[in-house]
Amino acid sequence: AGPAEPSHADAPLGFRGFTMEEARKLADQGQDAKIKRTPKQVLEDLQRGNTRFWMGNAKRPEKSAFERRALINKQFPHTAILACADSRVPVEIVFDQGLGDMFVVRVAGNAATETTCGSLLFSVNHLLVKVLVVMGHEACGAVKAAGLPDEALAKEPEDLCNCLMHIKAGLDLDRLKNIHDTRAHDREAVVSNVKQQVLALTQREDIMKKVNAGELIIIGAFYEISSGIVDFFYEVSPDSPPEDVPTSPGKAAAAAKTAEKSPSQGVQSVFDPVKGMERQVTGREVEVPKQKVVQAQSYAVRSMGAPASVSNPRQVRR
């Protein structure tokens, strides 16, 4: 938390005055605090924020006039996120974050194109974000449309057609044909698309330098609109590198090609809301009320006939 807003004895009731110098100092302190945090701490904060959101306990952090003034001087977001442009996916709200906390790039199908990657590279190289998230979501119309025949896509305006074809290139349509449950099919398609976009980011040398130095985590996410829960998966970090993510950018293209033939194995939430402790504004640890928890495979894994002993079961509430 930053310092208390400066007050003046002669200020009108209910108003706290401040100078631009004081606002600059607040911005510097906020930036210093962000720099000291580790990527893991930032990711945990996102998980806690999402838990507050779906449990109906969001803080809805708003900035005061003093804090907004401080943001004029500089921005220092802790997270960059590539998300879908869908109106049902308000990123800052879903993670219960405030102004200046997240550098958000939104485009249909959360596609890692030249333009979106350029924006993300700016956040990594110049804003020094600690976590880079690629987030897809339930009922994504762009991913669903990308699965249509090429002839249907060709009828769309050129720019839209190119966007959908870019997404389609990362989908294993032959395997998706074998998933007959509609919800499982849609989820698996979105998860596969997210995985491809994460792999595309690993081809960027500047990004992988940060990852290998322990200064950045790249991670995929799936937002379930119906529940509000965000599942994190496919983390790329020195501590948890997926097997098909290359250790050097030069091998990324081959890894991406191999991944197109590999099932995503579904997703797994890395934050357990039952065992987790929700840190409130006061800094006290408040235990989350216990709920009945069962072990279940994700829709995608279950639909492909995976054995009951499949690894990485997802905890779901009932």
Residues contributing to the annotated binding site = 84, 86, 137, 140
Q: Which residues line the annotated binding site for Zn(2+)?
A: 84, 86, 137, 140
What backbone phi and psi angles, to 5 degrees, belong to 142?
-65, -45
Residue 213: count of CB within 10 angstroms of its CB? 9
Helices and strands, number each (H, E), in the chain: 13, 9
Residue 307: count of CB within 10 angstroms of its CB? 7
- 72 Cα distance to chain centroid: 25
Cβ neighbours of residue 49 under 8 Å, at least 6 residues apart?
Answer: 58, 95, 96, 97
Q: What does the alpha-carbon distance between residue 62 and residue 48 come to, in Å, rounded to a whole number? A: 17
Strand ranges (E), 57-167: 79-83, 102-106, 131-137
Q: What does the alpha-carbon distance between residue 133 and residue 194 come to, in Å, rounded to a whole number? A: 10
Reading the block at residue 292, the tokens are: 């009945």
What's at 57, amino acid-wise? N
- Collapsing DSSP to helix, strand or coil, 135 comes out as strand
The Cα angle at residue 227 between residues 226 and 232, in degrees rounded to 5? 110
> What are the DSSP calls for 17-69, one per residue?
---HHHHHHHHHHHHHHHHHS-HHHHHHHHHHHHHHHHTT--------HHHHH
- Token pair 């044909």 in the structure block, residue: 177
